A and B are shown apart, each in its own frame.
Chain A
């Protein structure tokens, strides 16, 4: 049982990293990763939303959507939108600096595919409540890891001698490609267990 949970955690965090392997949450990944501190905080906000979403989704699945599966998508998106709204209000109140730093990317957590993706994966794989929480934790940590790695590379890249034509999105994508390549290495963990 414990090993199973650990496996879900590692799998969501490294082997099937949401950003670098499953391509979820790329807008934030490419948009907010110019500074490590900001990336880390956005990662934390995402982690929090992911865990709360996973909890609400497992309640929804259990009590409401059993009888009306066709409402799944609509119900998920409404729950996520209201959660993000609440997180936004909380951050605005608690830390106005962070609120300004994250800017448009905070409300955009709603349209961050990672959150809805998590809800859908969790439903498709029929995770229990505890498994869902562990899955969300792993996914969130993986997201934070990817954001932080990317931000640290980009901070260094600012001082590198890159041809003007390659600066911007193209370079970021190619760096992301190399990171993703590195993460493919974790696929080897899969066969062991």
Chain B
């Protein structure tokens, strides 16, 4: 039984590595944009909406999640042949819960204010679908190096998305960025943006913008002159808009 488990994944992993080729960089970068966990895969929405009412909270949440993701990917990918398939999910959850407990204690010791502001959501990293999803979809099938790269990329993609949400909500909702006033004293803050509905509306808006951007980009590839007249006028604005939205 055990032999069986050991002999099967090795060639599969080798084949996968050969098929995707040498691009360790691609493994790292895919989480940032092409397979962004929040914007493309729609995973981990609870923390994305709940803690992004300020940039500082978003950053702390993103970094804590990144830590847990990298730690559990490292451990699980190195133990992937020891964990029996039948109990893999429970084993993953236990490993993840251990790392979350560590992150929880570290944040409580280092930045008590932010720890208090995030409240239960630090503990709730355990049930963040991104983490379990990456273990199941990637770390359990790939080597340590690739799994860590994948985890760093996904974690960074998550953090960047949280920061984008946090920036939009804090700037509009409180008129500040990281606590520094942006618009001056005469700005009337859109209080709704820091309240729960603002989270839904901001993410909805960002997804709408992305879908619209993809829609605009698609016709460029195939049809001819009719579209070409419209597109160049909007095209230059788009690339500038994309990084602004993400970074």
Contact = CB atoms under 8 A, between A and B. Distances in A.
A73 B211 contact: no
Contacts of B199: 23, 177
Interface stretch (A1-9, A134-142, A152-160, A166-174): A166-174
A165 interface: yes
Interface in A11-44: 20-27, 30
Interface residues of B, number: 40
A178 interface: yes
Contacts of B197: 177-178, 180-181, 184
A13 to B, nearest CB: 16
Contacts of A172: 204
Interface stretch (A57-65, A87-95, A111-119): A111-119
Nearest to A74: B97
A181 to B, nearest CB: 4
A183 B199 CA distance: 14
Nearest to B124: A113
Given A173-B203, A184-B196, A77 B97 contact: yes
Nearest to B131: A111
Interface in B125-153: 126-129, 132
Interface string B42-60: 1101100110000000000
Interface in B149-191: none
Contacts of A170: 204-205, 207-208, 211
Given A23-B50, A78-B90, A165-B211, A124 B201 contact: no
Contact of B126 (A25, A116, A121, A166): A116
Task: Determine which residue in A112, A177, A178 has the highest number of CB atoms from chain B within 10 A of its CB, and name it.
Answer: A177
Contact of B98 (A30, A74, A112, A113): A74
A21 B199 CA distance: 10
Given A73-B104, A111-B127, A120 B94 contact: no
Interface in B30-74: 42-43, 45-46, 49-50
B3 interface: no
A73 B97 contact: yes
A81 B212 contact: no
A112 B124 CA distance: 10
Contacts of A184: 195-197
B204 A113 contact: no
Contacts of A180: 196-197, 200
A166 B208 contact: yes
Given A117-B124, A124-B120, A23 B97 contact: no
Contact of B46 (A23, A74, A78): A23
A117 B120 CA distance: 7
Given A21-B196, A174-B201, A177-B200, A116 B123 contact: yes
B75 to A, nearest CB: 15
A120 B195 contact: no
Interface of A: 20-27, 30, 70, 73-74, 77-78, 81, 108, 110-113, 115-117, 120-121, 124, 164-166, 168-174, 176-178, 180-181, 183-184
17 contacts: A23-B46, A24-B50, A30-B42, A70-B101, A73-B123, A108-B129, A111-B129, A112-B127, A164-B215, A165-B208, A169-B204, A169-B207, A170-B205, A174-B200, A174-B205, A183-B196, A184-B197
Interface of B: 42-43, 45-46, 49-50, 89-90, 93-94, 97-98, 100-101, 104-105, 120, 123-124, 126-129, 132, 192, 195-201, 203-205, 207-208, 211-212, 215
Ranked nearest first, the 10 interchain pairs of A and B with the lowest CB-CB distance are: A177-B200, A173-B204, A174-B204, A23-B50, A170-B207, A177-B201, A170-B208, A181-B197, A180-B197, A26-B45
